[in-house]
Structures are given as structure tokens and as C-alpha cells.
Amino acid sequence: MIKKMRSALLLFSAAVLLGGLAVACGGDDDDGGDSKPAEIPAGAPMVDQDDLTFIPNKLTAKTGEKVYFKNSETAIHTVTINGKNVSGNMKENDVVIWIPEKAGEYKITCDYHPQMKATITVE
Ligand SMILES: [Cu+2]
């Protein structure tokens, strides 16, 4: 149990080091069962992917802060930031954490749904 948690944490750190990005797969052990969504801290900046929309479509975050993206529906989505897919394919309940390193305005899109657009302002 403890070992499992430690390796999960290590994987998490490695992902953060590699790209400022971590994928916490809430639905990875899903055989159609009762997979729990990954936990998103209350009050954290978060964008929901639902109804083929990013909700909200405008968000402000701070440099170095974790920004959470969650796919809440069965459609596959991506988190594509300024044209770069940083998430891979996200299934239902997948959560991706993005940690912006520079202030600026970031355009968020989905590779599969051109109508999905959001803007994150990083201060
Ligand atoms: Cu999409």
C-alpha cells in the first residue's frame, strides 16, 4: 500500500520535471467499475471539459500554480496550450495538471473539437 503510493508520487514528480505537467489518471483502473475521480483541491484553478466546452472559458492563475483540467464526459478531449498538446488523449474523469512557468495569456484548445476554446491568463 505504502509502496504503491510512493511509486505513484515518484511518477508524478517525474512528469512534473519533464514537462511541467502531470497526468493523474482518475479512471485508469476502470473496468467500467467505480473509479474515483482524481482529487482536485477546493479553490484550485480548474477547467472542466464538459458538453464539448471548456468551463470556464476564462481563468486566471499564478505562475507556478497548479492548474487542473478535468474531462467530465465520455468524449475524448485534449488540453492543447498555444497549439501544443500537453495532455494526450483524456478519457472521462482524467485529470491533467499544468503548471505555467511564465506569465502571459495562454490559448487553450482541444485537438478534436475546434469549438472548444479557453483563455488562461497567468500572472
Ligand atoms: Cu474535445
Q: What is the residue range of 6's domain? A: 2-29+36-122
Distance 120 CA to ligand 1 centre (A): 17
CATH of the domain at 47: 2.60.40.420
Distance 73 CA to ligand 1 centre (A): 10
* Cell output for 95: 485529470
Distance between CA 24 and CA 17 in Å, rounded? Answer: 15
Distance 54 CA to ligand 1 centre (A): 9
Looking at residue 39, what is its pLDDT?
82
Q: pLDDT: is 99 or 2 the higher one?
A: 99
Distance between CA 118 and CA 81 in Å, rounded? Answer: 10
Q: What is the pLDDT of residues 12-25, one digit of tens each?
A: 433 443 344 555 54
The count of structural domains within the chain is: 1
Q: What is the pLDDT of residues 37-80, one digit of tens each?
A: 568 999 999 999 999 999 999 999 999 999 999 999 999 999 99
List strand residue ranges (DSSP E) for the chain, in order: 21-25, 46-50, 53-55, 58-61, 67-71, 80-81, 84-85, 94-98, 104-109, 117-122
Distance 90 CA to ligand 1 centre (A): 9
Q: How many helices (H) and strands (E) does the chain have?
A: 1, 10
Distance 115 CA to ligand 1 centre (A): 8
* Cell output for 16: 512534473
